[in-house]
A and B are shown apart, each in its own frame.
Chain A
Amino acid sequence: MAARVRYHDVQVGTELPAQSFTIRRLDLVLYCGASGDFNVIHWNERMAKSVGLPDVIAHGMYTMAQTGRVVTDWVGDPGAMVECSVRFTKPVVVPDDDVGAVLEVSGVVSEKREGNHVVVQLSARCGGATVLAKARALVRLG
């Protein structure tokens, strides 16, 4: 209810601080437990490959959570998020090594609306590929 970013300080084209997130197998196991989504494709390489995936993949919702952080870290108050939507276009493949996958997220203000609202267009890439399309958030600024 108290976003630290002021509507009047933001313009169309204002870039949010970009972030990169390293995703390892352990992160997916933790997310399975915390979310209750134990789909085998998120932790079992044998089963993932049996359904045609290259390897274990991250939960789409895990990727959405990291993408949303670029917005919530920017505004400070996560409750300033009014809407958030994504389309999952490519899986985030998480190999069984010490490096993991690296998700790179950036965002830019694309529209200013009434009521101190702004639309943020988000980009999420992994291994050079765009993994989310139509990723956007509607945010109420201070």
Chain B
Amino acid sequence: MALDPAFVGKQYPPTEPYEVSREKIREFAAAIGDRNPVYRDREAAMALGYRDVIAPPSFPIVVSMPAAAQVIFDPELGLDYSRVVHGEQSFDYTRPVCAGDQLTVVVTVERIKSAAGNDIITTRSELTTVDGEAVVTARSTLVARGPDPDDA
């Protein structure tokens, strides 16, 4: 079933603040096997001008994905999550995420289209500090594959 294009432009309320900890950054960097010292060593990060350890560039997904779940599981939208795959992802950084940041996310439905029986939806997640400082914008495009022709 095609998604309702009237959802384009719909904005969801800001999420509860996510507090970025040094330990979460360390855990994430270890999981992706990235040994860059700026993710672990405060001195190394400060030598580059940061106030504390910074997070790897793909870390914002940890904060943006739960926020975008508001859209994915919006009952009015009716997306079939069991058929969803990640189509595209982009990040536009104002600055890297840094330990101690308290991030809140505003999610907007940016685009909806149907192609070849698939539903395609792009969400924009604006991550800002609770003080209103822009940090990063994450765009995720999800593709809900249409029913298999064999099942029709």
Contact yes or no, B31 A51, CB < 8 A: no
Find out whether the CB atom of B32 lies under 8 angstroms from the CB atom of A78. Answer: no
Q: Once the chains bind, are B28 and A36 in contact (CB under 8 Å)?
A: no
Count, A-B residue pairs, CB within 8 A: 106
Q: Which of A31, A34, A81 has the most CB of B within 10 A?
A: A34
Q: Any chain B CB within 8 A of the CB of A88?
A: yes
Do A86 and B89 have beta carbons less than 8 Å apart? yes
Q: Does B89 lie within 8 Å of A61, measured CB to CB? A: yes
Q: Verify A60–B86 contact, CB threshold 8 A.
A: yes
Q: Are B30 and A86 in contact (CB under 8 A)?
A: no
B48 beta carbon closer than 8 Å to chain A: yes
Q: How many interface residues does A have (CB within 8 Å)?
A: 36
Interchain CA distance A69-B83 in the complex, whole Å: 30
**B56 in the interface, Cβ–Cβ < 8 Å?**
yes
Do B91 and A35 touch across chains, with their CB atoms under 8 A apart? no
- A84 — which chain B residues lie within 8 A by C-beta? 57-58, 90-91
A66 cross-chain contacts in B, Cβ below 8 A: 32-33
Closest chain A CB from B50 CB (angstroms): 7
Q: Does A99 contact B (CB under 8 A)?
A: no
- Chain A residues closer than 8 Å to B86, beta-carbon distance: 59-61, 88
Q: A78-B96, A83-B93, A88-B86 are in contact. Are A35 and B54 (CB under 8 A)?
A: no
Interface membership of B16, Cβ < 8 A: no
- C-alpha gap A103/B27 in the complex (Å): 22
**B80-135 CB contacts (< 8 Å) to partner A:** 82-83, 85-93, 95-96
- In the complex with contacts A37-B65, A61-B86, A85-B88, A72-B48 CB distance below 8 A: no
A51 touches B82 (CB 8 A): yes
The answer to whether A77 touches B48 (Cβ under 8 A) is yes
